[in-house]
Amino acid sequence: MARGIKDRVAIVGMGCSRFGERWNDDAETLMVEAFDECIADAGIDVSRIDAAWLGVGFEAQNIGPSGIPLATALRLPDIGVTKVENYCATGTDSFRGAVYAVASGAADIALAMGVEKLKDTGYGGLPARSRGLNFDMYGVTGSAPGNFAQIAAPYRAKHGVSRDDLKRAMAHVSVKSHANGAKNPKAHLRKAIDIETVLNAPMIAEPLGLFDCCGVSDGAACAIVTTPEIARELGRADPVLVKSIQLVTSNGWELQHGGGWDGTYFHTTRKAAARAYAEAGVTDPREEIDLLEVHDCFSITELVTMEDLFISKEGQAWKDILDGFYDADGHTPCQIDGGLKCFGHPIGASGLRMIYENYLQLQGRAGERQRADGPKLALSHNLGGAPIQNVSAITIVGLEGA
C-alpha cells in the first residue's frame, strides 16, 4: 500500500450552516454562513488560504460548472478553486483534495467547501433526468428508496433474520438518530419519535417506511486544513489530525452476471474501510473507533454499513443495534449529531458535515451532544449512487497518538 497521509495534515477550522428548507437563501449565502464560523475557528485571515476545493452535486440548479461562485462569495485571494462532484461522496472528495494538497506540500493552508441547495432542484428521491447520459439510460427506472430497499430481502434470507426483527432494528436506527438530532440546533428535523410511530408509518418502498428515509435539505459545511506544524503555530496544542481518507468507485463488478455479489452489502464500502484502517493503523475497529458518522440515507443502509465497516460481525448488526451498541450512550455512538436522518442530505455538504461533528466531538466542543468519555478516533462514511453501482468514501480523524 502507498505510504499514506496519516498525521500529515491537521484541521484548524470547521464551520457548518443550519440545515433545512432554506428557500430564502442562495448557495452563496450558505457558503458564507459556514465559512464565517470556519475562518473564525481557524483564527487566520482569508489571505493565508493557498487553494480551495468546492463540492456541489447538482451544478445546474446551484452554482454552475466552475469554482467561481466560491471565490466570489468568500473573496478568496486570487487562488485556484477546483470544483468537485462525485455523487454523495462529493463533500468528502472536496476535503480529500484540500488534504492531499497540504500533504503533498502544494499548499500550506487549504479550504474544502461543500454546499447544496437541494430543495431548489425539486429532487426528492424519485427518478430524475438531466444527470448525464449514463444515468438517463438506467437510472430513470428506479428511485433511491426502491433501490436501497432491495438490500433488505437478500439480507434477511442470507442471515435468517425475520421481517419483524429487521424492521424493528431499522426503526431503532431512526429513533436513535431523532433523539440525537433533537439536541442539535443545526439539524433540520429536531423532534424525537418513538418506535411505534416508525413501525406504523406509511410505506415508501417495502420494508422502508416514511421514517426509514432521510429528508431533502439545503446546507453547507467547510474545513480549513494545514500542516501539524502550522497548526501548533496557530495555538493548537493537540490538533485534530487526518488519519486516513479512502475512496472506492464501483467498476461494474456488482452488475456482472455471476460476479459473486449477493446484494446484501456494499462492496465499495468494505474495500474503502479495509484500506482506511490500514492507512490509519487501526487493527480492531470495533474497539478502536470511538464515533461513527455514516451514510444513513435509509435505515437499512446504516444497518448494513455497520457490517461493511467491520464494526458488527456479518449478519449481526441488527442485534447490535437493538442492544443499543450504537446509541449515544452505547459502546460506539453512530450519528450522535442526528445523521442524514435529521439533517437531510444536501449532497455536496453531507461529507463535510459529518467530519464537522467528529471534529467537535474530538475537541470536547459538541455541547449537549458531547460524548463524555473523551473520544480519540472518529470515522465518517459516505455512499453515493445505488447498491449496484456506487462510490464509497471514508475519512478517519483523531488526536495525536490515536
Cell of 55: 463540492
Neighbours of 388 (CB within 10 A): 17
Q: What is the pLDDT of residue 131?
A: 64
For residues 358 and 293, is the Cβ–Cβ distance under 8 A?
yes
Q: What is the pLDDT of residue 255?
A: 85
Do 143-212+243-398 and 10-124+218-240 have the same topology in CATH? yes
Q: What is the pLDDT of residue 120?
A: 85
Strand partners, 246: 394
pTM to 2 decimals?
A: 0.96
pLDDT tens for the chain, 402 residues long, are 688 999 999 999 999 999 999 999 999 999 999 999 999 999 999 999 999 999 998 766 668 889 999 999 999 999 999 999 999 999 999 999 999 999 999 999 999 999 999 888 777 665 555 666 776 776 667 789 999 999 999 999 999 999 999 999 999 999 999 999 999 999 999 999 999 999 999 999 999 999 999 999 999 999 999 999 999 999 999 999 999 999 999 998 998 877 789 999 999 999 999 999 999 999 999 999 999 999 999 999 999 999 999 999 999 999 999 999 999 999 999 999 999 999 999 999 999 999 999 999 999 999 999 999 999 999 999 999 999 999 999 999 999 999
Q: Is 350 helix (H, G, I), strand (E, B) or coil?
A: helix
Residues 243 and 321: their CA atoms lie apart, in Å, by 27
Strand partners, 390: 385
- AA identity, residue 277: Y
Q: In what side-by-side order are the strands of the sheet with 389-398?
A: 80-84, 51-55, 109-117, 218-226, 10-16, 240-249, 389-398, 377-386, 291-293
| Residue recorded with cell 458564507 | 32
Segments making up each domain of the chain, as ranges: 10-124+218-240, 143-212+243-398
Catalytic residues: 88, 345
Cell of 284: 480492531
The CATH architecture annotation of domain 10-124+218-240 reads 3-Layer(aba) Sandwich (3.40)
User: What is the dihedral sign for C-alpha 208, 55, 335, 9?
Assistant: positive
User: What is the dihedral sign for C-alpha 61, 21, 86, 203?
Assistant: negative
Question: DSSP of 202-262, one letter per residue?
Answer: PEEETTEEGGGB----EEEEEEEEE-HHHHHHTT-SS-EEEEEEEEEE--SGGGSTTSS--
Q: What is the pLDDT of residue 285?
A: 98
Give CATH superfamily name and number for 143-212+243-398: Thiolase/Chalcone synthase (3.40.47.10)
